[in-house]
Amino acid sequence: MTATPYRNYRFGIGVSLVLASLLAALGLIAVCTPNLGWGVVALITLALWIGVPLLVLLLLAWGRYMVRERGHVPGRVHALMFVPTVLALLIYPLGDSLRGDLDTATGDSRAAIAETHINLSGHALWLDTSPYASTYSGAGPDLPMQGDNPQRFVAFHRYPNAQSDADNAFPYDNARLKPGIDRYRYGAPSEGTASTLPLRRQSYPDTTALIRVWGTSGGPGIVHLYYHYADHVEVAPALARLAGATEYELERSRVEGLVQFKTHNYGAAPIVRLEINGATLDIGDDAIAPIPAPPAACTASNHTTGVALLNLDQPLQVRWQTSAAPQVWHRARVQVPAFRQPQPLDGQSTLQRVLLYALPDGTMAAERYVEVLAGDSRRGIKATGLPVNAAAHATCGSAYATYGEGAPAPLAD
* Residues 130 and 169 sit within 8 Å (Cβ to Cβ): yes
- Three-state DSSP class for 362? coil
Helix ranges, 48-90 (H): 52-68, 75-89
Residues 234 and 122 in one domain: yes
CA distances from 242 to 30, 281, 366 (A): 24, 12, 20
Dihedral angle over CA of 344, 345, 351, 357, nearest 10: -90
Residues 210 and 250 in one domain: no
* Residues 193 and 186 sit within 8 Å (Cβ to Cβ): yes
Higher pLDDT, 368 or 242: 368
- Three-state DSSP class for 160? coil
Flag whether pLDDT at 38 surpasses 60.
Answer: no
Residues 84 and 126 in one domain: no
Residues 269 and 221 in one domain: no
Given 240, 259, 284, which residue is the final one in a domain? 240
Burial class (CB in 10 A: 0-12, 13-18, 19+), 9: buried
Q: What is the pLDDT of residues 13-26, one digit of tens each?
A: 888 889 889 888 88
Residues 112 and 99 in one domain: no
Share of the chain above pLDDT 90, in %: 24
| Nearest alpha carbon to residue 153 among 122, 115, 117 | 117
Residues 267 and 218 in one domain: no
Residues 169 and 68 in one domain: no
Mean pLDDT of the chain: 80
Q: What is the pLDDT of residues 155-213, one digit of tens each?
A: 888 877 666 665 677 888 878 899 989 999 887 665 555 588 999 999 998 877 676 65
How far is it, in rounded angstroms, from Cα 322 to Cα 32?
Answer: 42
Given 214, 240, 266, which residue is the final one in a domain? 240
Strands 304-309, 258-265: pairing kind: antiparallel
DSSP string, 323-339: TTEEEEEEEEEE-PPPP
Given 50, 77, 104, which residue is the final one in a domain? 104
How far is it, in rounded angstroms, from Cα 22 to Cα 12?
Answer: 15
How far is it, in rounded angstroms, from Cα 49 to Cα 60?
Answer: 17
> What is the number of domains present in the chain?
3
Higher pLDDT, 319 or 66: 319
Residues 232 and 123 in one domain: yes
Residues 11 and 117 in one domain: no
Share of the chain above pLDDT 70, in %: 75
User: What number is the average pLDDT over the span 1-11?
Assistant: 66
How far is it, in rounded angstroms, from Cα 413 to Cα 398?
Answer: 14
Q: What is the pLDDT of residues 48-100, one digit of tens each?
A: 888 888 889 988 988 888 888 887 888 888 888 888 888 888 887 787 666 55
Domain span at residue 74 reads: 3-104
Residues 286 and 226 in one domain: no
Residues 324 and 411 in one domain: yes
Q: Which residues in 128-158 are b (16+ Cβ under 10 Å) and which e?
A: bbebbbbeeebeebebbbebeebbbbbbbbb
Start-to-end Cα distance in the chain? 68
| Cβ neighbours for 338, distance < 8 A, ≥ 6 positions apart | 312, 313, 368, 384
Residues 84 and 203 in one domain: no
